[in-house]
Structure 1
Amino acid sequence: MSSFTHIVTSEQSKQRIDKLLADINPERSRSQIQSWIADGYVSVNDESVKANYKCQLGDRIEWHIPEVKPLEIEAEDIPLDIIYEDNDLLVVNKPRGMVVHPSAGHGSGTLVNALLYHCNDLSGINGVERPGIVHRLDKDTSGLLIVAKNDQAHVGLSEQLANREVDRKYIALVHGEIPHETGMVDAPIARDPKNRQRMAVVDNGKKAITHFRVLKRFPDYSYVECKLETGRTHQIRVHMRYIGYPLVGDPLYGPRKTLDLNGQALHAKEVGFIHPITGKYMQFSSDIPEFFTEALETIEKMY
């Protein structure tokens, strides 16, 4: 069993403990966090608490991760584009079309299957199906992902994500000519009450902030850079649709009439973070994938 300690900051005070731990462990569901608390795996200042406990500044939270069950996911010899690797983490350039972790209908061919073949030492915090996975990209979103090789690295990276200390920049092609150079979308996101397969801007959703900058304009399209301040599911796709500029090729949030790209034109181009073990700031960038440059060329030829 692995144990971790977190001291509550002023920004985190007054939060429910289950929400705080869910923010620190974004790949764990809130219900899973609540089960940890109910089963006695979480304590505050050496005392048991309930899931609705309101954290106070300086509280020492200790939580214990139960031993991970033996892994039954098959390791697969799938090529990986590894940008960086050391004893604690990897930075991988995920191709479009690859699912990050196994789920219903995707039991093989995932990034996790490939990672298990590449290395045996992945963090176990996220359980059997998601070893090493600190954050995710949608199946048809390409680009950079950080993978933790051990639990200490995983917790350190998760805390940076929760504290908005990880720099993540994406490039995207959107419908419509955005008239201003830069902008920010600050709109909460939650499951769409009208369509459970989608996310949406919802009044009582989780806080979500996206910054964007126009790189190039066309009469009916814009090429933009998006910077995430938070990391909600489908955040860029939802936010750009919300302000009237949905992503090109997006089958879930885009218009019916769009370029046939077999998925949204979205690429995680840059990631920067503090190495959770060495304390050194690291930044990585990836090349624009072929499908994206081809879509950009197609739009340029229209005018």
Structure 2
Amino acid sequence: MRVDAALAKLLGLSRTMVAELAEAGDIRVDGRTVGKSDRLIADTWLDVTLPEPPKSLEPKEELIEGMDILYADEDVIALNKPVGVAAHPTVGWEGPTVLGGLAAAGFRISTSGPPERKGIVQRLDVGTSGVMVVAASERGYSVLKRAFRDRTVTKTYHALVQGHPDPLTGTIDAPIGRHPSAGWRFAVTTDGKPSITHYETIEAFREATLLDVHLETGRTHQIRVHFSSLHHPCCGDPMYGSDPNLNQRLGLTRQWLHAVRLGFEHPADGHYMEVESPYPPDLQHALDVLRA
């Protein structure tokens, strides 16, 4: 029999899976690598290396240094997410997660949402720090999820960008999509999704500007992409064109971007509340260097 037909019968795999194993060189007969259309001969030794089983996406419980709780009640948990922490488990991510940190600290999370993202109503990039809200109850999940979807949540970031944006206060309205030559990056593209960023200057330095940024939309890497497209990338962000010499002088090993404030209506009674997150030490240090 052909290799693909025989292994499908012997091991219960699909022919597509067998073809992938053969292409990867994981099927051998008497020590010789064979293709999917080769024939299996009686009295030869068949050796098949199967792929690892998919890993569980259950969050790994571990206490996370610097993940302070800023506000908590029976519906809402607002926390300060440190850099290097993902919101929830994903394929390929082995590091700490917000859900794992909350579980280790004894917090109950809403059971709503996909299994690996229970209670998650918003996300911050692994490389971005700041305030983030998680639903603690089913009521909290449905109300907050709808609020983020309908863009009634006020999201305020502070960003340190290179140079001085002109005008000092303005709006960037430019669609964002996958970068045409690097799928892991994003860029302003003609066929991208509508993306709107509002900004105001807080403080201007000789080499950089500290901005107050409000997002009208929430695209992946939106702030980083928009200011990079204006030739004012976030300091410490080599992926989008920051100056490595300035990054080194400021002591930055990640983009200077921090979610400082979230404003939303509380799921229980609808009263408006805001939660703020202070700058972490590395971002504060960069400002201190510029001010000195």
Q: Smaller-chain TM-score range? A: 0.7 to 0.9
Provide the C-alpha distance between the structure 1 equivalents of 2:63 and 2:208, rounded to a whole number of angstroms.
39
Q: Give the Cα separation in 2 of the matches to 1:165 and 1:231.
A: 12
Contact 1:178–1:217, Cα closer than 8 Å, also in 2? no
The aligned counterpart of 1:39 is none
Deviation at 1:71, TM superposition (A): 7.6
Which residue, 133, 138, 142 being the options, matches 1:146?
133
CA deviation string 1:33-73 (max 9, x = no partner): xxxxxxxxxxxxxxxxxxxxxxxxxxxxxxxxxxxxx9843
Match of 2:247 among 251, 259, 265: 259
The 1:120–1:268 alpha-carbon spacing in structure 2 relative to 1, beyond 3 Å, is closer
Distance 2:272 2:214 in 1: 18
1:264 CA drift (Å)? 0.2
Q: Which amino acid aligns with 2:188?
A: V
**Once the two structures are aligned, what percentage of the paired residues are identical?**
39
CA RMSD across the alignment:
1.9
Structure 1 counterpart of 2:172: 185
For 2:104 and 2:220, the matched residues in 1 are separated by: 27
Q: Give the Cα separation in 2 of the matches to 1:216 and 1:300.
A: 10
Contact 2:130-2:259 within 8 A present in 1 as well: yes
Is the Cα–Cα contact under 8 Å of residues 157 and 214 in structure 2 kept in the other structure? yes
Alignment partner of 1:195 is 2:182: yes
Q: Distance in 1 between matches of 2:228 and 2:168?
A: 18
Query: Runs (4+) of structure 1 moved beyond 4 Å?
Result: none
Residue 293 of structure 1: which of 259, 271, 284 is its match?
284
Return the offset for 1:106.
2.4
Cα deviation code 1:88-108 (max 9, x no counterpart): 110001112222222234234
Aligned match of 2:266: 275
Return the structure number with greater helix share: 2
Is the 1:166–1:272 Cα contact (8 Å) retained in structure 2?
A: yes
Distance across 2 between alignment mates of 1:167 and 1:94: 18
1:231 aligns with 2:218: yes
Cα 1:255–1:288 shift into 2, 3 Å: closer
Note the C-alpha offset of 1:277. Answer: 2.5
What does residue 63 of structure 2 align with?
77
Cα distance in 1 between the residues matched to 2:145 and 2:238: 30
In structure 2, what is the equivalent of residue 204 of structure 1?
191
Does the alignment pair 1:115 with 2:102? yes
Say whether the 8 Å CA contact 2:171–2:199 is kept in structure 1: yes
In the aligned structure 1, how far is the partner of 2:133 from the partner of 2:57?
Answer: 21
Question: Which of 138, 154, 157 is the matching residue for 1:167?
Answer: 154
Task: State the distance in 2 between where 1:292 and 1:77 align.
Answer: 23
TM-score normalised per structure 1: 0.71
Residues 62-101 of structure 1: matches in 2 within 5 Å?
Answer: 72-79=58-65, 80-101=67-88
Q: Aligned residue pairs: how many? A: 232
Residues of 2 paired with 1:136 and 1:207: CA distance? 19
Question: Secondary structure of the equivalent of 1:164?
Answer: coil
Contact 2:59 2:97 in 1 (8 A): no
> Which has the higher Rg, Structure 1 or Structure 2?
2
Alpha-carbon distance in 1 for matches of 2:283, 2:291: 12
- Please, which runs of 5 or more residues in structure 1 have no aligned partner? 1-69
Match of 1:215 among 185, 202, 218: 202
